[in-house]
Amino acid sequence: MKASDALAKFLISHRIQTCFELVGGMITHLLDSYAESGKFNIISMHHEQAAAFAAEGVARHSKGKTIAVAMGTSGPGATNLLTGIGSCWFDSVPCLFITGQVNTHELKGKRAIRQQGFQELDIVKVARSITKYAVRVDSAEALLPELHKALSMSLSGRQGPVLLDIPNNVQRADIPNDIVEKWLTVPLDISADHEINVNDLKRLEVLCKGAKRPLICIGGGARWADAMDTWLKDADELGIPHVSTLMGHERVIARNNYFNMIGSYGNREANWAVQNCDLLIVVGARLDVRQTGSDVEDFARKAQVVQIDIDPAQLGNRVQAELNICAAAEVFFNSFPMSQNSFPNLETFWSKELVKRRKQAETNEYSDWEISPSQVMKKLNDALSKQSVDYVCDVGNHQMWAAQSLRLSPGQAIHYSGGMGAMGFALPTAIGVALQSQHKTVVITGDGSLQINIQELDTLNRLGLDMTIIVMNNSVLGMVKNFQDMYFDGRDQSTRKGYSSPRFSDIAKAYGIEAHRVDNAVDTDRMLNLIAEHKGPLLIEIMMNGATECRPRLAFGSKLDEQFPKSTMSV
């Protein structure tokens, strides 16, 4: 059997049947095999970076249970995948990347030359630091064993991307049929999560029983745990407050005792809760500078901290906890159920105080702007509350506006580019999400971010997905401009000076997509009300000239509860 056919059969046997790619000579054998199988959904993108993000979107929607393939040809096709590979690496998203390579006899080997074959590039060496496993497959006999190993590693433990680089002559070589059939029946070797240390649970139980003002913080490492929502629902019913990081916010349902997102751009009530709790239980968050502020010693200043993480290297990395527990979030939630006896000394005023502060913080922080971003998000909350929706946010002020004000109902999720923070993430990722979900997807993006992968508007139109793109167009790279205002006396090189953006509504129409442009609050509300009933691609361009701030925010060096502008809340 031809090796590329064998690879296709192997993927199909493991329910990996969606491929995003930009065609090139060194992947044509693979693509032909996928197509001839009749069981692959092949999505041709206009850039390999977009293909990588789209494949990431499939895994994001399915909480890592279904993965897709992203492919690029040798040389530039391979390097164009790297930003998407990095995105999967930092946000722990399983994904299979396959690159074509020149024939093995055209490889430079150990010669002291830069290149032997046309578009030859050692992508394995380049990608190794941002993959769980990367290998060049130099023989047909090694193809299926290496594929089995790569997929097993991608889905085990802290999940992440893997890469196979396959030379062209290997793709078209023969593999004996009996060898192929053997590998089709070998289950993936997905390592089981380690059992949690019983003594650690006993220590945690003691800490919980002594806590009067407990607080739970959900991070990205917990967001896909199947047991998370039930565990948080139980905590909510017991009156236990909880907050999240940006990545944790992706899946946390808005309930009475959820007090939103912590961090540099966090909600005021969430940061206040962190700084005034006496026990902080952190599940799956690495507690980086965006979450704690730069003054690590002052983070959770009144609390004993418990950190739970699947990655032992993350424990005790920045914040020195009272108790570190190395465990997968799913294992932790199942091993430490919430009950009436969990927090016997819980003070009744604690949750009430946080509810009061949340209500005070819901004031419109942008009342001096024609269009308030927080009001835009609240309108989306109201308009789409009864629908299954996936929001996908790009990177910039609009991402933080969304994170501060979007609230999830059951059946909804938000997807952020977290560790990589890649502009251009939202549109292609949303294509993968929408293909997997088969329900409404809403992209929230800015003028700078959308331009990076704007060519995928054509892909969206071709696929006819039920996707609304909201472009918050301030005609400036606002987040960096805000940084320049604080530290460079407003000198705006490359954020305003030397920067420009087009009329996105006109571009969308040129791609065959219905589009509208609004520049006032009344028309914005009217357009947002159309989203719930609209089917198919839609772009809404909201003109927000001069909107370059995110409120509240934390200046570098400030304590977590000292956000700007200063709060009018009581101390």
Digit-coded pLDDT (tens) for 197-240: 999 999 999 999 999 999 999 999 999 999 999 999 999 999 99
- What type of residue sits at position 216? I
- The C-alpha torsion from 282 through 288 and 291 to 292, rounded to 10°, is 90
Contacts of 410 (CB under 8 A, 6+ apart): 253
- For residue 394, what are its two tokens? 């790009």
Q: How many helices (H) and strands (E) does the chain have?
A: 23, 18
Contacts of 451 (CB under 8 A, 6+ apart): 424, 501, 502
pLDDT of residue 557: 84
Nearest residue to 455 (alpha-carbon basis) of 100, 22, 18, 84: 22
Helix (H, G, I), strand (E, B) or coil at 224: coil
pLDDT of residue 485: 86
Name residue, tokens 């590039």: 121
Q: Running DSSP on this structure, what letter comes out for residue 408?
A: B
Distance, C-alpha 310 to centroid of its chain: 18
With bands split at pLDDT 50, 70 and 90, how would you rate the model's confidence at 300?
A: very high
Nearest residue to 50 (alpha-carbon basis) of 376, 463, 554, 426: 426
Q: Running DSSP on this structure, what letter comes out for residue 89?
A: H
- Cβ 447 vs Cβ 505: under 8 Å: no
> Cα-flanking dihedrals φ and ψ of residue 365, to 5°?
-75, -5
- Cβ 97 vs Cβ 81: under 8 Å: yes
Helices (H), 129-176: 140-155, 168-171
Nearest residue to 142 (alpha-carbon basis) of 117, 171, 120: 171
Strand partners, 69: 19, 96
Taking phi first (over 0 means left), then psi (-120 to 50 degrees means alpha), and beta for anything else, what does residue 536 get?
Answer: left
Task: Give the integer Cα–Cα distance in Å for 7 and 147.
Answer: 8
pLDDT of residue 320: 94
Nearest residue to 155 (alpha-carbon basis) of 92, 97, 98: 92
**Domains within the chain, CATH numbers bracketed:** 3-184 (3.40.50.970), 198-361 (3.40.50.1220), 373-543 (3.40.50.970)
- Cβ 386 vs Cβ 439: under 8 Å: no
pLDDT of residue 568: 62
C-alpha angle with apex 447: 19 to 73, nearest 5 degrees? 25
- pLDDT at position 571 over 80: no
- Cβ 260 vs Cβ 267: under 8 Å: yes
- Cβ 299 vs Cβ 277: under 8 Å: no
pLDDT of residue 490: 87
- pLDDT at position 545 over 70: yes
Does residue 482 or residue 361 have the better pLDDT?
Answer: 361
- For residue 443, what are its two tokens? 């992209």
- Cβ 85 vs Cβ 163: under 8 Å: yes
- For residue 445, what are its two tokens? 């993006």
Direct distance between the N- and C-terminal alpha carbons of the chain, in angstroms, rounded to an integer: 72
Share of the chain above pLDDT 90, in %: 95
Name residue, tokens 């509504």: 505
Task: Give the integer Cα–Cα distance in Å for 425 and 557.
Answer: 29
Task: Give the integer Cα–Cα distance in Å for 548 and 485.
Answer: 10
- Cβ 228 vs Cβ 251: under 8 Å: yes
pLDDT of residue 101: 98
pLDDT of residue 531: 97
Query: Which parts of 102-180 are beta strand (E)?
Result: 133-136, 161-167
- pLDDT at position 396 over 50: yes
- Cβ 134 vs Cβ 161: under 8 Å: no
Q: What share of the chain is helix, strand, coil (3-state, %, to 5)?
A: 40, 15, 40
Q: Kindly report, residue by residue over 25-45, the tens digit of the pLDDT.
A: 999 999 999 999 999 999 999
DSSP code string of 439-451: SEEEEEEEHHHHG
With bands split at pLDDT 50, 70 and 90, how would you rate the model's confidence at 486?
A: confident
- For residue 110, what are its two tokens? 């150990």
What does the mean pLDDT of the chain come to?
96
Name residue, tokens 């992203």: 70
Contacts of 362 (CB under 8 A, 6+ apart): none
Q: Kindly report, residue by residue over 69-112, the tens digit of the pLDDT.
A: 999 999 999 999 999 999 999 999 999 999 999 999 999 999 99
pLDDT of residue 569: 57
What is the mean pLDDT of the segment spanning 518-546? 96
Neighbours of 192 (CB within 10 A): 9
Q: Kindly report, residue by residue over 51-66, the tens digit of the pLDDT.
A: 999 999 999 999 999 9
